[in-house]
Amino acid sequence: MSPTKIPLICAEEALRRAAEALLKVNSLLCVIRYATESGKQDFLNVLDMAEIAISLSGEMAESAEEWADLIKATSQAGGRE
């Protein structure tokens, strides 16, 4: 396997995890919307859910950005050979 394919395989897995995390964030946001529309913010602990969503989306954004930078650097290095 060529060295450039290894980062792409790892990046594919990282993107898959990021997509799963975004789906979880979306689920949390849907519950938050339901809670606020139905007046159940305190019962469903909306603030904690929002903090989880913020943390999860931030972590995944940083990870995706790092992988994008790695792929860009790898593809640019491959073009110089």
Show the CA angle centred on residue 8, arms to residues 78 and 55, nearest 5°.
Answer: 125
The predicted pLDDT at position 4 comes to 57
Per-residue b or e along 52-80, where b marks 16 or more CB atoms closer than 10 Å to that residue's CB: ebeeebeebeeebeebeeebeebeeeeee
- Checking if the pLDDT of 8 tops 80, the result is no
Higher pLDDT, 68 or 27: 27
34-54 pLDDT, tens digit each: 999 999 988 889 999 999 999
Q: How far is 81 from 76, CA to CA, in rounded Å? A: 9
Percent of the chain residues past pLDDT 70, beyond the cut: 85
First to last CA, the chain: 17
